[in-house]
Structure 1
């Protein structure tokens, strides 16, 4: 679920390299190489692996480079990022991993905290955990091939014995959550019983909420001093980036007018990417996502080979999923029609597709 949602709000990156060779042969090769070098240095400073001989009977998992152009809320390029990812799909349960479950904060919790921030005029700050998954301690013996382009010059036959969880491992997100939970609990933060990624610290009349979404952290407090204390504590335990007052988190723009106690959430950039992905960028707008007289039923589903051929290359389920992501965070106004469209994902017809496009026109 973590990877699916991260993909959803990062939708639309089409020109990033997909392989190591593409990265070093493109016109931005220096930028991508520096990003890869920075990632390897981060791995070394975190003591992620040791180079060892592969034990007899043990098997290695592969790894690959994943490239991403990071952009701000306005779509401007912030930096070029290279992530070394293990090919966790080759792991065997009971050998390379056991438990994999890891919670993330719920959308409802985020909106409730934002409402409290607006109502009580709380300070709202954001922090980012650099290479978050590398903080998780690995309990199993996992051996990985050396990363492409950065093999040891005097030990190409050696393999990486992982000491820390790495992106792509099935248990990586779980190990990171367990590590973070242990650290933050030692600073008198209590976990919410209904949402495991919401924490609260109370000190006299001062309080602080902490929202964890994988590696993004939001801090909401009625005391600037307490926020500073929490930031210092986190920075001592993890490699953190202080983003200051929160303005853009998990693809959501946060607008605040503290004089009027107003806070707004917007996914404008994400919605633009969705429209571009489905070639709806220059469409004419619709006044409503659904109007009186619009009907959805099983008679509109596919009935013959001609209709199936028509829908063959139409990414209906992907479109509905993209609309759902906007709906659950910032656009409850499309909840009814998206719920209706979601009923026909297994066998959608052209009428359902036209209705999905109408929702995009409305957005």
Structure 2
């Protein structure tokens, strides 16, 4: 190993092998007749802290699972993963009540699972047992408030009872090899800031965005004013038409860039959701204009990398806003939907998406957008009710919309000649309103400009209003 940090990598490899032994991951056996042992390899990673500094050297021994046969060597498996919006909702509630937020990490969490299949693996190179070289590794089968949030091996403990949380941490440490990371400050690439005296909590991905900018060589680019220029149009007509254009675009990491931006949008950057959704449509046929649009997003992220989602100072009431842009897609004339939901002054859920049916009026487009927002509202209402600490969630979730026709459709069960063609599944909105899950209310167009960024390109003034609101 010729790396400058070779000593640290060797130490990490030895630590990994020690973990394998202490967790009794395998026993050495003679390979059964007909068995096909899988290979293995080492995967190395420098773990970075909130400020981009190296905090640990990780070495993982992994089996070459791609050589296994589905249904013979393995069946489906999974790790528990909390949705980003679930985490944001809990953090918004924690900021309101000033709950404790602690963090733990399960050391070598994947070693604690159990498998039903017989799996045989070659011994790791450099760690072959002397005198047992011919053998293979046989893998072995494996009024106080407290919330446990799991994301594979990362754990957030949120609650109001310090003793109870301490007891939970102590119990977890008896069951697994745990790392106590104290008060949560950095998880899943998201930095957490708290001002407990003012009951404020902020989330930012500045370090992650810096890493993305470096990956795509945009760290020295100009800073963009907007994620997408006002009035820009993208379509399949701008896709490569010649072999030379195709060759040029094949060398551009378009899909990788879109995927990297997607994680920021998923976690803390609703202001980029529309621009990303538009550019992601052309991953299979991206042209120069599409790539320029992606670079515009990266330039904008460079300027706003330190932007926060802030929770605090608002009411502990879930409320939503829905919006649509009518027939805005240049390829098929379909409309774009957008919605956001706020809790305790901050945004906890958002979405920007192209509608899958063609609307023939602004009312229909807005009605479809409101229907999608209502389905999200019902999910969040059920989730928050289970947490049992937000009394207001017993009331219908208010969804604000600036289209009188869409609101009337949601409240009125009768069929109208101009709306009878609307697909039945969108009329679920009426059912959700009638049973009290949500309520549609009128709001001025000036206020819905706050979420227009999720359904269309906007000018800088409106964008700034939207960002301040976030």
The TM-score bracket by the shorter chain reads: 0.7 to 0.9
Matches of residues 208-219 of structure 1 in structure 2 within 5 Å? 208-219=146-157
Candidates 215, 228, 246, aligned match of 1:277: 215
C-alpha distance in structure 1 between counterparts of 2:227 and 2:176, whole Å: 45
Shift of 1:99: 2.3
Matches of residues 209-248 of structure 1 in structure 2 within 5 Å? 209-248=147-186
Q: Deviations over 1:288-345 (max 9, x none)?
A: 1123211111211122212112212001111111111101101100001100001111
Unaligned runs of 5+ in 2: 302-470
C-alpha distance in structure 2 between counterparts of 1:211 and 1:339, whole Å: 28
Shift of 1:286: 1.0
Q: State whether residues 253 and 266 of structure 1, in contact with CA within 8 Å, keep that contact through their aligned partners in structure 2.
A: yes
1:290 aligns with 2:267: no
Matches of residues 93-104 of structure 1 in structure 2 within 5 Å? 93-104=70-81
C-alpha distance in structure 1 between counterparts of 2:105 and 2:294, whole Å: 35
The higher-RCO structure (CA 8 Å, 6+ apart) is: 1
Please give the TM-score of this superposition, normalised by the length of structure 1.
0.81
User: Hey, what does 2:192 align to over in structure 1?
Assistant: 254
C-alpha distance in structure 2 between counterparts of 1:298 and 1:29, whole Å: 49
Please give the TM-score of this superposition, normalised by the length of structure 2.
0.63
Give RMSD over aligned pairs. Answer: 1.1
Shift of 1:108: 1.0
Q: State whether residues 47 and 164 of structure 1, in contact with CA within 8 Å, keep that contact through their aligned partners in structure 2.
A: no
Shift of 1:164: 4.3
Matches of residues 1-363 of structure 1 in structure 2 within 5 Å? 24-164=1-141, 205-363=143-301
Shift of 1:207: 1.1
C-alpha distance in structure 2 between counterparts of 1:330 and 1:241, whole Å: 26
C-alpha distance in structure 2 between counterparts of 1:38 and 1:102, whole Å: 23
Shift of 1:103: 4.1
The structure 1 segments of at least 4 consecutive aligned residues displaced by more than 6 Å after TM superposition are: none
Structure having the higher Rg: 2
Q: State whether residues 124 and 220 of structure 1, in contact with CA within 8 Å, keep that contact through their aligned partners in structure 2.
A: yes
Q: State whether residues 49 and 164 of structure 1, in contact with CA within 8 Å, keep that contact through their aligned partners in structure 2.
A: no
User: Hey, what does 1:21 align to over in structure 2?
Assistant: none
C-alpha distance in structure 2 between counterparts of 1:85 and 1:108, whole Å: 31
